[in-house]
Amino acid sequence: MELTLTNSTTLSFASPSAAADGTAVVFAEEGNRFSPAAQNLDKKTKGVLRDAAKIAGFKGKKGASVDVLAPQGVKFARILLVGLGKPKDFANDDWINLGGAVRGKITGREGDTAHVYLEAARDEISPEAAADFALGAQLRNYSFDKYKSKKSDKDSDAKTLKKLVVHYDDPRAATRAYGSERAVLNGVNFARDLVNEPANVLSPAEFASRVKALTKAGVQVTVLSEAQMKRLGMGALLAIGQGSENPSHMAIMQWKGGGQKGGDPIAIVGKGVTFDTGGISLKPPGGMEDMKGDMGGAACVAGLMLALAERKAKVNAVGVIGLVENMPSGNATRPGDVVEAMSGTTVEVINTDAEGRMVLADCLWYVQEKYKPKAVINLATLTGAVMVALGKVHAGLFSNNDELSEELIAAGLETGEKLWRLPLGPKYDKLIDSKVADIKNTGGRWGGSISAAQFLQRFIKPDTPWAHLDIAGTAMGSEASDINRSWGSGFGVRLLDRLIRDHYERR
């Protein structure tokens, strides 16, 4: 299977004097201080830009903008003046979001090309900021439209931007900085494509074969069959997939960019339920279609591995994803069944809709046994309850390690993929004790996200630093943002890429 990345806009950096057409985007700082390019366009248009700003009440505030259409005296069809506020105060994801917001304002009807003159009035814009701006624009450019039949030519809205040129003082430095960001872009969009793909197309086998394509980028990929998993004793994962016609798989992705000196790998584990009907504990029909996105954790792991490989990250990382379809059938697991996980722990299945934790149990145990990782981070669209607690703003963070938690929370603030830590503890752990087996797979109505996390922790060795991210509210059906309008957000790729850059890479 080809590795395809949805990315139609070509982006390049050019020097400020390069020739132009289409849209021009120029900037002003707070107090209406125009950048040199804005001043230049204002002069060429005999003051139209200043006049337009005045009429619109534009003061250069961050996020504000003024549009001038069909201006005289320049070769642009449109001039977009964008406020920067105080660019020296920009932090975290501000440049990415600005890039996304600017990209969102350009339709392509103005011409095939948009030229962004990325300069402020007084403040310096660093090459990294320029690269972030470009990443934001490219992230916003994503759409999942492979199943839309062709729009008619009469529909002028069908026009899309072909080329985005970012004019920046030092295009070579910006292009160099953008190299890593392009890898991240490809990783995020790879994850988004997987999340958006319907489950009749994206079976566990199809997911595994798309992951296999990462070998081209330098990732070593192994896919386990049901027979192999059976031999390994993965009774928890297999119990979930057994009701489906589509056989289960586990995919293992290794990126060895850290070499010998890099030591033991960091492990990233993902829930890959390609569709979650709930099984015999069948879900109600309303909104069930969203359960095609119940593989958002696995999608993030795959996207992250691609990003690490493409930017040649100096880290050893292993990704493990459990790929299953949770279906009701004559062969499906029943409530009350007892199964044995690879770790030897026996599990009483109370609710077949609490399937993600069963899949992760065997993935988590396998990765610790086989790779002795220095840390394990898992991602899963695990519980509806995490949305009750945190909405769609923060993902839930559960961890046995304060340092890892702090690092993750900081990476969340840097990237805008925010985390909020929730508790673990013995009183929550007791909720999953079973009368007939070692543990049961649900802990009752209250604290549902926490008892799910406690279940996972039963498969974590005491000295393994571990974090679980419950991304049910952030991986799919996300609110429209400056950098994403698609249903699948690709949540977690930028977050974990940032964590690895900041703390796990050799310098």
Q: What share of the chain is helix, strand, coil (3-state, %, to 5)?
A: 40, 20, 40
Write the CA distances from 495 to 77, 143, 193, 477, integer angstroms. 38, 21, 18, 18
Q: By beta-carbon distance, which residue lies closest to Mn ion? A: 353
Q: How far is the CB of 18 from ligand BES (least distance, A)?
A: 46
Q: Output 325 or 353, the one with its CB closest to ligand BES.
A: 353
279 binds ligand BES per the rule CB under 6 A = no
Q: 172-179 — which CB contacts under 8 Å span 24+ positions?
A: 173/127, 174/13, 174/127, 174/130, 174/131, 174/134, 175/12, 175/13, 176/127, 177/127, 177/128, 177/130, 177/131, 178/11, 178/13, 178/130, 178/131, 178/134, 178/135, 179/311
CA neighbor of 243 nearest in space, from 139, 335, 330:
330
Give the one entry of Mn ion, Zn ion, ligand BES, none that residue 385 binds, where binding means its C-beta sits below a cut-off of 5 to 8 angstroms depending on kind.
ligand BES
454 binds ligand BES per the rule CB under 6 A = no
CA neighbor of 313 nearest in space, from 171, 502, 466:
502
Q: Give the chain's radius of gyration (CA, Å).
A: 25
336 binds ligand BES per the rule CB under 6 A = no
Q: How far is the CB of 336 from ligand BES (least distance, A)?
A: 15
384 binds ligand BES per the rule CB under 6 A = yes
Give the one entry of Mn ion, ligand BES, Zn ion, none that residue 478 binds, where binding means its C-beta sits below a cut-off of 5 to 8 angstroms depending on kind.
none
Point out which span in 47-55, 170-178, 353-361, 431-439 binds ligand BES (CB under 6 A). 353-361
Query: Which residue in 109, 283, 392, 418 is the catalytic one?
Result: 283
What tokens were used for 27? Answer: 């900037």
Q: Output 228 or 329, the one with its CB closest to Zn ion.
A: 329
Chain position carrying tokens 């949305």: 387
Write the CA distances from 448 to 275, 344, 362, integer angstroms. 21, 24, 21
Give the one entry of Zn ion, Mn ion, ligand BES, none that residue 187 binds, where binding means its C-beta sits below a cut-off of 5 to 8 angstroms depending on kind.
none
132 binds ligand BES per the rule CB under 6 A = no
Q: How far is the CB of 279 from Mn ion (least distance, A)?
A: 8
Point out which span in 106-114, 172-180, 354-362, 432-440 binds ligand BES (CB under 6 A). 354-362
Q: How far is the CB of 179 from Zn ion (least distance, A)?
A: 37
448 binds ligand BES per the rule CB under 6 A = yes
Task: Give the β-pairing of 266-276 and 249-256.
Answer: unpaired
Q: Output 42 or 276, the one with its CB closest to Mn ion.
A: 276
Point out which span in 125-133, 191-199, 329-337, 381-389 binds ligand BES (CB under 6 A). 381-389
CA distance 244 to 241: 6
Three-state secondary structure call for residue 212: helix
Point out which span in 137-145, 346-354, 420-428, 479-487 binds ligand BES (CB under 6 A). 346-354
Catalytic site includes residue 192: no
Residues that bind Mn ion (CB under 5 A): 276, 353, 355
Q: Output 103 or 271, the one with its CB closest to ligand BES.
A: 271
Q: Contacting ligand BES (CB under 6 A), which of 238, 385, 469, 499?
A: 385
355 binds ligand BES per the rule CB under 6 A = yes
Q: Contacting ligand BES (CB under 6 A), which of 131, 165, 301, 472?
A: 472
CA neighbor of 279 nearest in space, from 202, 379, 356, 361:
356
Give the one entry of ligand BES, Zn ion, Mn ion, none that residue 384 binds, where binding means its C-beta sits below a cut-off of 5 to 8 angstroms depending on kind.
ligand BES
List 252's β-bridge partners, or say none.
Answer: 222, 320
Q: What is the DSSP letter of 435?
A: S
CA distance 242 to 254: 27
CA neighbor of 308 nearest in space, from 492, 468, 500:
500
Provide the terminal-to-terminal Cα distance of the chain, rounded to the nearest Å.
34
Catalytic site includes residue 146: no
Give the one entry of ligand BES, Mn ion, Zn ion, none that residue 472 binds, where binding means its C-beta sits below a cut-off of 5 to 8 angstroms depending on kind.
ligand BES
Q: Output 106 or 431, the one with its CB closest to ligand BES.
A: 431
What is the DSSP secondary-structure string of 42-96? HHHTTTHHHHHHHHHT----TT-EEEEES-SSSS-SEEEEEEEE-GGG--TTHHH
Q: How far is the CB of 432 from Zn ion (least distance, A)?
A: 17
Q: How far is the CB of 346 from Mn ion (least distance, A)?
A: 21
351 binds ligand BES per the rule CB under 6 A = yes
Q: How far is the CB of 436 from Mn ion (least distance, A)?
A: 22
Q: Output 136 or 293, the one with its CB closest to ligand BES.
A: 293
Point out which span in 30-38, 90-98, 350-358, 366-374 binds ligand BES (CB under 6 A). 350-358
Task: Give the β-pairing of 163-167 and 220-224.
Answer: unpaired
294 binds ligand BES per the rule CB under 6 A = yes
242 binds ligand BES per the rule CB under 6 A = no
Per the CB < 8 A criterion, the answer to whether 450 and 428 are in contact is yes
CB within 8 Å of 126: residues ≥ 6 apart = none
Question: Hey, CA dihedral for 158, 163, 167, 168, is it positive or negative?
Answer: positive
Stretch (H or E) spanning 320: strand 316-326
Query: Which residue in 311, 357, 498, 501 is the catalytic one?
Result: 357
Residues that bind Zn ion (CB under 5 A): 273, 276, 294, 356
Residues near ligand BES (CB under 6 A): 276, 290, 294, 351, 353-356, 381, 383-385, 442, 448, 472
Q: Known catalytic residues?
A: 283, 357
